[in-house]
Structure 1
Amino acid sequence: MGTGEYAAYEPARTPLPADGRPLSMDEVSDLFHEFLAAVARPKRTDREGRDLTERLRAHLGSAPRDQPVIKAAYPSYDLPNVHLALERWFAAEGRAYELIGMTGAEHRGDFTLGEILESADRYDRFVLGAVDYAHLPVSPDEELACVSVGFYLGQEGEERFAVLLRGPADEYGRNKVEIEVLAREKEFADRLLAEIDTLMREHNIFRGQILSFEGSEFGEGLGPFRFHRRPALTRDEIVLPSGLLERVERQVVGVARRRERLRAAGQHLRRGLLLYGPPGTGKTHTIRYLLSHLSEFTVVVLAGTSIGAIGPACALARMLQPALVILEDCDLIAEARDYGGGEQPLLFQVLNEMDGLGDDADVAFLLTTNRADLLEPALVQRPGRVDLAVEIPLPDAEGRARLLHLYGSSLGLGKEITDEVVARTEGTTASFTKELVRRAVLISAEREADRTDAEDLRTAADELLSDRDHLTRRLLGVRPSGQDADGEEGADEEEDVEWLSAEGE
């Protein structure tokens, strides 16, 4: 406690008996009450100009504790939307505001506005301070300083009111965004909050974007989010068996393009697609291609254990439809239990949320897995959630030749070396071919050659197919001879969502 922070202690106002008689119980009680008040609310010398209650009283024209408080809560990821909606609301003609901050031992905690006002008035626990901001992404290339704790002292015509905006603070037990409106009339506060909701829907920063979410570190729900640039892939960059890509496109892109015709015929728009197959065969590359052709779709990506936040993700998709929900590596949660400690696997929770959207929701679910055998029992028990399952197989000879020319388009590979490498790489993946070409270019660079030739490609193939690179092949999705896909225990195709900004697989 620094010198001068508190004024000298004032003697108790209850006088002690002059005749030396013992204190009565009432007198003891009065003295003890004054002692507690002095401890709980020491007189501050630096309080002048920082009294939160007096500042609100001066703005509102009456005691803030005498006015009703109306509250609205939003998901933690919506802080940028709430912040921008408030700015747009106040920007309308006839409205103005002053933004002030507050500070205190628990100003980021779970106190309600009413409790804050009482604590500020009785105990000096909250005083005027700096506005708190959080820098959050609002696009792949832009961040915005959003108010995370601040009072908007607003005015609309003759109406004076205050709005407290507080963002999430998981470490303090706050996993949501809250607005609390202090106004003379409840009807005014209700109207303000309704208009904020409308502005959030109309100008939602997530609409048409690709987002990935992490699970919350401190509890249930969606945690930090990240924007991703939309890929730009052409059909020539997708190497799959004949007819397979067309089936996938019809299920996802075709329904989107013909939604009005389907609705008019009473057909459902909600659909589910499962892409399965060994790691490295092209599942995520296929997803990137689909995203290139769904520019109007909002895309929500959950991977691995963050799939447990499927409920909030579906709510976001429902609000911003048309939307695509991508669930990567679903096999990781096929046998995991829900966060509530119950007996239901997370996969069943995913299927329940899919069903809860309703048939008319223009939302597509795209699931990927390396282990279809783990998902099949749950999918069979809940028919209709996934309408189409497509295997992305290992590339055949024609596919491996196309992959060589795709990844080595600048190398000018001849037919002889292409046929030789294709014959030697049976059972390998697209990821293997991509690494093979990269390593060949590296070998030519190490010998300072002007171009990569056939011998460089042979050397790269020798290295990758050698016994010492056995683990490397596994990491590139190549299975040991004789092992089927369901027995694969190698690394997953992707462990996170970095693939969204990658150029190939």
Structure 2
Amino acid sequence: MSVPEKLTTEQFATAFTDFITQMAGAAQQAAAPGAYVELLTDHFGVDPLSVDTVSQMFPWWRHADVDTALATVFPETTPKGLRYPQGSEVSFSELLTDRYQQFEQGALAYETMPVGFERRRRVITNGLWVAQFKGQPVAVLQTKNQSFGHAQSQLEIMCAEETIGDELSPELRRCMDLHSTLRGEYVTLAGSAFQDEGLSVQFHDRPRIREADVILPSGSLDRIRRHVLGLSEMKAQLREAGQHLKRGILLYGPPGTGKTHTVRHLIGGDSSTTVIVLTGPALGNIAMAAETARALQPALVVLEDCDLVAEDRDFGDGGRPLLFEILDTLDGLSEDADVAFVLTTNRAAVLEPALAQRPGRVDLAVEIPLPDHEGRLKLFTLYSQELSFSPQGLRDAADSTEGITASFAKEAIRRAVVNAAAEQRSAGDEDLRGAVAELLSDQDLLTTKLLASAQDWDTDGSEDFDEDLHGGLDE
């Protein structure tokens, strides 16, 4: 018996690879066809591996819309469940070749998702829809894809006729938008698509703030309402006249003066409007938000504290300022889209260079200044409702608080009530005078700063204590 020559490392690796490939092929030929191969062969009448497929990805927060669209397009179809090891890649190719015999039919897997404020619904996580569309056989694989570090909703469509696939994809997208859980809702996008957890959507109860409770200089609120809400009411006339509906408005001024309070009033102004709020890292996802707003119009997109991203860089070539990306997205939306963009900032000077280089993105800029004497009196009156302060006591408070903000006025009323309650009595004018003096005193200098009084407001905007849209102090 002759002894074979010693193999080199490269020769051994090549031979071993060939051996493994041959063994895998033999095992696949020996194995009985999987249940899905038989199912789809019977459905299409041909080998399903010869049928073309098209994949579509959607943000995970739109998975409930994907689920609804499938049920709408295929009302007579009951999807089939998939069972496979956790972490496995799920696709028609993997499902049909099933090289490791890991897929089998089983019960549908569900996940509960938010579909509105304090509302949740069970949606299919992974399912196979074997159906008919316009009289032709189709199959749609609905899965949760986590291959990019965060969840995405994936659809893979299998159609024997290419024209059917070309019609099915837009029909599913149309149904997603028409029946979207986001339509007419007030939501915030949090996080970033570049973070592991990805973007998440949080639904909020729509605030109800009366016009009388928004204390601004005379005429300011009317201008803001007309630009944001009024144009939607006139959209038929504007479109007929060839005028654009898309609009942008900038609200600027010191922290605590009423910008966010004004935005909350606008959010509650029309319950049929879809509201999408971006703040912090989520501002980098303006393109996705704008696309969603266009699909779900009429819509309002709120970009809070845009000055905070004025110097941030995007992920494209050259690393342009993220603010330019925001302004370009506003410009890229079609002119007849009934979408209003509301930008807020404490530092208008930071935005001016970008706005100057991108003219036309913002149609109206409205200053929300520190309240004058009349405004301060209205604020003290507003926050003292059902309390026993006299008209003169409220005027005295307004007289002595030049340069303060709405946040300051609200805290002064609250502190007067707290001080009186500590002595087990109702608050009166003396308590209000004492609370105002206390907040303005040297001992409470930091509190005054936190409430953003004029004399302590850092003009570069570093003292940013503007209220959150969804709670905290009303400006």
Q: For the superposition of Structure 1 and Structure 2, which TM-score range results when normalised by the shorter chain? A: 0.7 to 0.9
Structure 2 residue aligned with 1:313: 289
1:347 aligns with 2:323: yes
Which of 148, 151, 163 is the matching residue for 2:125? 148
Which of 87, 93, 101 is the matching residue for 1:124? 101
1:468 aligns with 2:443: yes
Structure 1 residue aligned with 2:420: 444
Q: Greater CA deviation, 263-272 or 124-133?
A: 124-133
Structure 2 residue aligned with 1:3: none
String of CA shifts for 1:368-425, please: whole Å, max 9, x gaps.
Answer: 0000110011111221111111111111111111111111101031023212222222
Residues in 1 aligned to 2:301 and 2:95: alpha-carbon distance in whole angstroms:
40
Contact 1:239/1:399 (<8 A) preserved: yes
Which of 407, 427, 432 is the matching residue for 1:457? 432
Structure 1 residue aligned with 2:187: 211
Percent identity for Structure 1 against Structure 2: 39
The amino acid of 2:56's aligned partner reads A
SS at match of 2:189: strand
String of CA shifts for 1:23-76, please: whole Å, max 9, x gaps.
Answer: 7999x9999866677799999xxx999965566557767654243323333343
Structure 1 residue aligned with 2:92: 113
Within 5 Å, which residues of 2 pair with 1:275-354?
Answer: 275-340=251-316, 342-354=318-330
String of CA shifts for 1:252-292, please: whole Å, max 9, x gaps.
Answer: 22222222222222222221111000111001111122222
The amino acid of 1:457's aligned partner reads L
Residues in 1 aligned to 2:301 and 2:4: alpha-carbon distance in whole angstroms:
74
1:311–1:29 CA distance, 2 compared to 1 (3 A) = closer
1:368 aligns with 2:344: yes
Structure 1 gaps of 5+ residues are: 1-19
The amino acid of 2:341's aligned partner reads F
Name the count of aligned residue pairs. 469
Q: Greater CA deviation, 453-462 or 124-133?
A: 124-133
1:74–1:217 CA distance, 2 compared to 1 (3 A) = closer
Deviation at 1:460, TM superposition (A): 2.3
Contact 1:151/1:165 (<8 A) preserved: yes
1:319–1:160 CA distance, 2 compared to 1 (3 A) = closer
Within 5 Å, which residues of 2 pair with 1:346-495?
Answer: 346-449=322-425, 451-480=426-455, 486-494=459-467
Deviation at 1:246, TM superposition (A): 1.5
String of CA shifts for 1:130-189, please: whole Å, max 9, x gaps.
Answer: 5443322111121122222222344679865532112353x6446642211334444444
The amino acid of 2:446's aligned partner reads L
Residues in 2 aligned to 1:41 and 1:106: alpha-carbon distance in whole angstroms:
26
Residues in 2 aligned to 1:35 and 1:343: alpha-carbon distance in whole angstroms:
47
Which of 101, 112, 135 is the matching residue for 2:82? 101
Contact 1:138/1:205 (<8 A) preserved: yes
Contact 1:474/1:491 (<8 A) preserved: no
Structure 2 residue aligned with 1:135: 112
The amino acid of 1:366's aligned partner reads V
SS at match of 1:431: helix
1:163–1:417 CA distance, 2 compared to 1 (3 A) = same
The amino acid of 2:285's aligned partner reads A
Structure 2 residue aligned with 1:223: 199
1:67 aligns with 2:51: yes
Contact 1:427/1:478 (<8 A) preserved: yes
Contact 1:85/1:196 (<8 A) preserved: yes
Q: Greater CA deviation, 408-417 or 345-354?
A: 408-417
1:200–1:31 CA distance, 2 compared to 1 (3 A) = closer
Contact 2:284/2:322 (<8 A) preserved: yes
Deviation at 1:236, TM superposition (A): 1.1
Structure 2 residue aligned with 1:246: 222
The amino acid of 1:492's aligned partner reads F
SS at match of 1:97: coil
Q: Greater CA deviation, 197-206 or 308-317?
A: 197-206
Residues in 1 aligned to 2:26 and 2:254: alpha-carbon distance in whole angstroms:
67
1:218–1:135 CA distance, 2 compared to 1 (3 A) = farther
Contact 1:86/1:196 (<8 A) preserved: yes
Residues in 2 aligned to 1:243 and 1:191: alpha-carbon distance in whole angstroms:
50
Deviation at 1:457, TM superposition (A): 2.0
Which of 158, 164, 186 is the matching residue for 1:182? 158
CA RMSD, aligned part only?
3.4
1:167 aligns with 2:144: yes
1:148–1:241 CA distance, 2 compared to 1 (3 A) = same
The amino acid of 1:478's aligned partner reads S
User: TM-score under structure 2 normalisation?
Assistant: 0.87
